[in-house]
Chain A
Amino acid sequence: AQSVTQPDIHITVSEGASLELRCNYSYGATPYLFWYVQSPGQGLQLLLKYFSGDTLVQGIKGFEAEFKRSQSSFNLRKPSVHWSDAAEYFCAVGGALFTGTASKLTFGTGTRLQVTL
């Protein structure tokens, strides 16, 4: 069965500091990996996705994530955090979403990011 672990429930960083949110997954085949953000009043939004190819993927809002097959990880990073990045972040793993075939999508339990000024 597929699963996602986000080991950090809550993280606090200072504005301007770098950020790394951890995600580990379990999937029986080549995974499709995603990061989502949920901001108060903004709803859910896809930050970035990984299907294949370059293991470092760029997303919106200056975020990037690196796929490491050997570690079953897909950590989210941002070089310099802004106060507006305070939100909850979800990692997800699934099959071929976005590629025209059906897929079950499994989410982690989320990491809440607090940004201090």
Chain B
Amino acid sequence: EAQVTQNPRYLITVTGKKLTVTCSQNMNHEYMSWYRQDPGLGLRQIYYSMNVEVTDKGDVPEGYKVSRKEKRNFPLILESPSPNQTSLYFCASTSNRKQYFGPGTRLTVT
């Protein structure tokens, strides 16, 4: 079954404590991306990756890092989380025909 998995699904953390949200796809897609969703702001792209070791900034990359060492994985790293990064995060994986979203990770930074 084609799927995009994200872990954790829910996370409450404190300001400044480094965290990683993992994203993994089983479809051998080259294109992967991260989005955050906030009320009234819709979805905003954080980073995207066209292939292994190829990443680029989306509309809101500040405060985030990504890496793409393997095709299937695209982790989102928050080196020093702040309360304004409290949000719902989605990972997506795209082929030349279809796009699959992960179930989302709800992050709260206190």
Residues of A within 8 A of B (CB): 6, 36, 43-46, 90, 92, 97-110
Contact = CB atoms under 8 A, between A and B. Distances in A.
Contacts of B41: 109
**What band does the interface of chain B fall in when counting residues whose beta carbon is under 8 Å from A?**
20 to 34
A90 B42 contact: yes
Interface of B: 30-31, 33, 35, 40-45, 48-50, 54, 56-59, 90, 92, 94-99, 101-104
A109 B43 CA distance: 7
22 contacts: A43-B102, A44-B43, A44-B101, A45-B101, A46-B98, A90-B42, A90-B43, A97-B99, A98-B94, A98-B96, A100-B96, A102-B31, A102-B48, A104-B57, A104-B59, A105-B58, A106-B45, A107-B43, A108-B42, A109-B40, A110-B42, A110-B43
Given A43-B101, A45-B101, A109-B41, A104 B56 contact: yes
Decide if the interface of chain B is mainly helix, strand, loop or mixed. strand
